Amino acid sequence: MTIGEHLVPLAPRWLGADGGPHRAGADTVVCVRLRNGGEATWRSRGTEGLQLAYHWLDPLGNPIVWDGVRTAFPRPVATGEEVELGVAVRAPRPPGRYLLRFDLVEEHRFWLEELGCPVLDVHVEVLPRIESRRLAVVMHGGEHAATAAALDGQEEALVTDDPVAVAHLVAGAVPPPDWSRWLLDAHEEGWPAVGTALVPAGRRAARRLAAWSPGGRNPRLGSPLLLPSLLAGLEPGEHLGLPAYEGPDALFEGRVTVTLRPRSGRRPT
C-alpha cells in the first residue's frame, strides 16, 4: 500500500467487527476481521511487536480511553492473508454513546493511523453495567434496631431474591435513606465494587477509620473498601473486623456516609 509517495509496509484492510452488547466497565469479546494489505508479514512477539488494539472516543472525537487492551496475532499473517481475532474490549464509564476505533500498534513505536493507514470505527451505545436496580443486603454479626429501621426507610426498596448487587453491613451500621440509590447509581455507571465513607462513634474508632472519612469519589483509595456493595461473582473478605473488598475496579464513594453505632450499650471511647 502506498500513501502519497510513501510505501507503507504495514497496512490493514478492515473487513468488519461483531460483538456486544457493551456494558460500562465490563469486558466484551469482539470478533474483528481484517486482511494484510501491506508489503510485510504481520508478527506479534508475545506482548511486543504488532498488536491489535483500540481507542474509545466520545461523539466529538475526543479520546476517553486511548490505550485499549492489546490482542496479539496468534501466528504470522502474510501479505494478502485474512485473519479473525477475538478482541477483549473493556467498555468505558459511564454509559453513553461512544466511538470504538480499532487500529494496529507496533508496540512502543507507533500506531498505524499515525502513518496514514485506515482505522475501523464502530459507533457503540454503551449500556449501564447492571440490567436492573435490585440491591440486597447481607448482615454480618446479628441484628440492630437502628440498622433495621434505616434499611426499611431506603429510597429504593431492598430485595431478597434475584439481586444484581449485594451490600454487606454489620449490626450498628446506619446508612442514610439515599444509600441504596447511590450504590445502584455507581453500579450502573460501571463499578463492580462500591464502598462508602464511615463515621464511627468514639474517638479511638474515628482514628482507626480515618482513611474512610467522608470526601469525594476515589477509584484509587489505597485501602480496602469497607461494608462494600458487590456485583455477582465478587465476595467480601475482612478488614479491621468489617466486611471488606480489595481488588480492581473498586470505587470509594465518599459522598455517602454510613454511621457506625455501638453494638452494645457501652459508651464509645
Q: Which domain holds residue 151?
A: 135-260
List Cβ neighbours of 165 (8 Å cut-off, separation of 6 or more).
Answer: 130, 134, 135, 136, 183, 184, 187, 229, 230, 231, 232
Within a domain: residue 86? yes
Within a domain: residue 154? yes
Residue 99 and residue 7: Cα distance in Å, rounded? 29
pLDDT tens column, 156-185: 999 999 999 999 999 999 999 999 999 999
For residue 4, pLDDT beyond 70 = no
- Binning the chain into helix, strand and coil, the percentages to the nearest 5 are 10, 45, 45
Residue 85 and residue 73: Cα distance in Å, rounded? 8
pTM of the model: 0.88
Within a domain: residue 173? yes
Tally of structural domains, the chain: 2
Residues 153, 87 share a domain: no
Residues 155, 87 share a domain: no
For residue 7, pLDDT beyond 80 = no
Residues 112, 74 share a domain: yes
pLDDT tens column, 187-207: 999 999 999 999 987 777 788
Residues 142, 89 share a domain: no
Residue 13 and residue 116: Cα distance in Å, rounded? 13
Residues 188, 118 share a domain: no
Within a domain: residue 78? yes
For residue 266, pLDDT beyond 60 = no
pLDDT tens column, 80-122: 999 999 999 999 999 999 999 999 999 999 999 998 999 999 9
Q: How many CB atoms lie within 10 A of CB 33?
A: 15
pLDDT tens column, 208-226: 999 999 999 999 999 999 9
Q: Name the nearest CA neighbour of 120 among 37, 222, 198.
A: 37
Within a domain: residue 25? yes
